[in-house]
Amino acid sequence: MNDAPRVTVVLLCYNQEKYIEQAFDSCLMQDYPNLKIVVSDDASRDNTASIIKRMLESYTGNHDVVFNQNPENLGIGRHFAFLMDNLLEGELVVMCAGDDVSKPNRVARIVQEWLGNNKPSLVAHGLEELDENGSVVEGLASFQYRFQDYSVHSNKMYSLIEYHKYHFAIHFLGAAVAYRIDTYKAFGSPVTYPDCEDHLMYFRALLADGVHYFPEILTGYRKHESGWTSQLKKPLHPMNRKSAFLSLFLDKENNFGEEYFNCFVTHQIVTQQWYDYLFGVRANKVRVDFQLVELMRKNMQRRHRFLVSNKELWDDRMDYAPPLNAVIFGTALGARNTLSAIGDGFDVLYACNTDPDLSGKKFCGLEVINLKQLEAMMDKVDCILVASGYFFKIKKLLMDQARIEEAKIVRVPASVIVGE
């Protein structure tokens, strides 16, 4: 691999003194030539950092190794974002946890699969589960990897819809993935800082250049009682208590009930994904899909309503998550039914019709515009909702006469148009 792409391995660790030596050693033993290793301790309170420093003092290998020690505990999500924003280089980042074990050829095989499959945004591989003593065990992750449906990733939009229909568990655990660094950079630092990185990057990969999975087992995924994913109820991270996003749901005494913690953590994820989806649409990375927007907003709305009950009020307004700007095409019954049923994921600005007698008039409270007016304002419009059974006829009309991009023309489902 004389021209091997530059890869960064990130080893995230926190209070893992029992396992860190084996985890770090498995990174140092990688047989890939063009490798940077960033081992980053998130302000451990045990001997994790001192073990890392001792190993670094005796390391004589060829890899470029950097040690970062956070002055305060950031939590997984903010820790990941800090590293992605500041310490990584190259094209791919391979993720490792301080209690897991990588096979020596893990990075090399990931790169091989990545190059052979058009450089997708995410590469995932098989894993095996280890107990505290390092013995291979059969657990929930192994069961999931054996029986889940991988065919969903053959189509970007299908995979996005399926993910939000069955939001948990995620297809690929963070311990057995690699991400394209420019995919993270394209979307930027998270707004809500969800306390995870796998949901964040899986969704961004689906919006960008997709995912590739190969079943070869290259990681030993450690399961033990103190592991993050083993905790049935996870505490709200202290950094979240300082966040502007959390402040939206605090009560009059600036408190947050314990029963809301887990819902808030999930709401961080789905709200961040809405921000990323909005960005992806406006950057022409992904097309608007009516069903996906409805699914995402319903997931957000349900949790939003529960969280604002901590404030002892009923509030449907998710002002922190702006909708898509839309124009509805049509002024007939289908358009009327759509407007009455549409969720808050679309802010419908105008109705459009080719009938010159309707131009400038009102339809369901919306001003009716013509095709020329529509064309002139498309830089402010994310999509055109076609609420008609004559979808392809209207699509051709919009593309030919108003020069609307094909990806911005959205078909409204029949069940919405007929008002079922």
- pLDDT band for position 231 (50/70/90)? very low
Q: Where are the alpha helices (DSSP H) in 242-383?
A: 244-247, 261-282, 290-308, 333-341, 371-376
Kindly tell me if the per-residue pLDDT of 224 is higher than 70: no
What is the second-level CATH architecture of the domain 7-230? Answer: Alpha-Beta Complex (3.90)
pLDDT at 230: 45
CA–CA dist 154, 29 (Å, integer): 34
Strands 136-137 and 346-352: unpaired
CB 157 within 8 A of CB 285: no
Pairing of strands 7-13, 35-41: parallel
Give per-residue pLDDT as tens, 309-348: 998 877 788 999 999 999 999 999 999 999 999 999 999 9
CATH number of 324-417: 3.40.50.720
Residue type, 84: M
pLDDT in tens, 268-280: 999 999 999 999 9
Q: Where are the domains of the chain?
A: 7-230, 238-311, 324-417
CA distances in angstroms from 123 to 15, 99, 168, 277, 418, listed in the order given: 28, 21, 19, 20, 42
Determine what percent of the chain falls in helix, strand and coil, rounding each to the nearest 5: 45, 20, 40
Task: Find the mean pLDDT for residues 287-306.
Answer: 94
